[in-house]
Amino acid sequence: MHSVKTLLDSRATGNFIDRDFVYMKGINTQSISRSIPVYNVDGSPNETGQISKVVDVVLRYKTHSERTLLAVFSLGKQNMILSYIWLKDHNLEVNWQTGEVQMNRCLFRCKEYRVIRKE
């Protein structure tokens, strides 16, 4: 289990995890059948290459838990990026005054991986 700070990016087109973070933490990767090209905002090819690996992980936040695939890519300063689709599917409740995030409007599939901890 690893803690990771995550950027929630409503303009991202996929869910990503940083390549260096994956290797530093020893997270197992899976190769994909065909590499996916990555483009910058201006349409030019990203200089760090293409996506050729994914990780199958369980994401946890408080009582929320879900299994998902993340594309492995060099993210620079970020360790993980979750996209607009993820945000839409989870429909977060955010209290901008306190910074509190509630995840009580998730898709049904999230509940399948809920972890109950004995205190």
Beta-carbon count within 10 A of 6 CB: 16
Q: 111 versus 9: which is more confidently predicted?
A: 9
Average pLDDT, whole number, for the chain? 85
Q: Who contacts 71 (Cβ-Cβ below 8 Å, separation ≥6)?
A: 14, 15, 16, 17, 36, 51, 53, 54
Residue 40: how many CA atoms within 13 Å on its side-chain side? 7
- pLDDT-derived band at 119, boundaries 50, 70, 90: very low
Is residue 70 predicted with pLDDT exceeding 70? yes
pLDDT score of 118? 44
User: pLDDT band at 69, cuts 50/70/90?
Assistant: very high
Q: What is the pLDDT of residue 42?
A: 83
Residue 116: band (very low, low, confident or very high) from pLDDT cuts 50, 70, 90: very low
- All domains of the chain in start order, with CATH: 6-111 (2.40.70.10)
Interval 94-114: pLDDT, tens:
888 998 888 888 776 676 554
User: Rounded distance, CA 60 to CA 47, Å?
Assistant: 32
